[in-house]
Amino acid sequence: MATAEDVVQDLYLKIAGLDPTAEVRAPEALLYRMAANLLVDHARSVQRSSRRSAEWRLETRTVMDGQDVAHDPPADEVVIGKERVRLLADAVASLPPQMGRAFRLHKLDGMTQAQTAQVMGVSVKMVEAHIAAAIKHLAQRLRS
């Protein structure tokens, strides 16, 4: 959306900069040609920017012990992330059996609520209730 707005703005500026006394035989064709040229210019600019970014990442990457560490998060963030995952896993494990199964099937395994209901042999409404209760339980557990 921003690209379209930028192109329209640039097109407006180009049209405003045209010589008002110049005769234009096909104004629509001129407008389309100008817009097409601006889009091509924008696409080329994006490609150049992407290429520069990729080259910069390649030039600035750090290799230690054969591992590329330029994109690795800081060690403290890794530790905090692992602790959060452990806490979440413990909280999920503490859910009542049916609630935990519904939560795992839907949220972790990616099944739809209808698929989860079919696997569990319950109604979709029951799965919805289990998932809502699980989320409430997990939120309370993780806050404390």
Distance (Å, whole) CA 87 – CA 93: 10
Residues 51 and 84 placed together within one structural domain of the fold: no
Residues 91 and 57 placed together within one structural domain of the fold: no
pTM assigned to the model: 0.48
pLDDT of amino acid 67? 59
pLDDT of amino acid 126? 95
User: Which of 10, 35, 63 is the endpoint of a domain?
Assistant: 63
What letter represents residue 38's amino acid? L
Distance (Å, whole) CA 130 – CA 110: 15
Q: Which domain holds residue 20?
A: 2-63
Show the low-confidence residues of the chain (pLDDT under 50): none
Residues 111 and 54 placed together within one structural domain of the fold: no
Residues 12 and 37 placed together within one structural domain of the fold: yes
Structural domains in the chain (count): 2
Distance (Å, whole) CA 125 – CA 116: 11
Identify the H or E element spanning 49: helix 27-60
Residues 79 and 52 placed together within one structural domain of the fold: no
Residues 127 and 79 placed together within one structural domain of the fold: yes
pLDDT of amino acid 53? 81
DSSP annotation of 68: E
Assign residue 120 the CATH number of its domain. 1.10.10.10
Instruction: Tell me the percentage of the chain whose pLDDT exceeds 70.
Output: 88
Whether residue 100 lies inside any domain: the answer is yes
44-50: long-range contacts at Cβ-Cβ below 8 A with a sequence spacing of 24 or more?
none
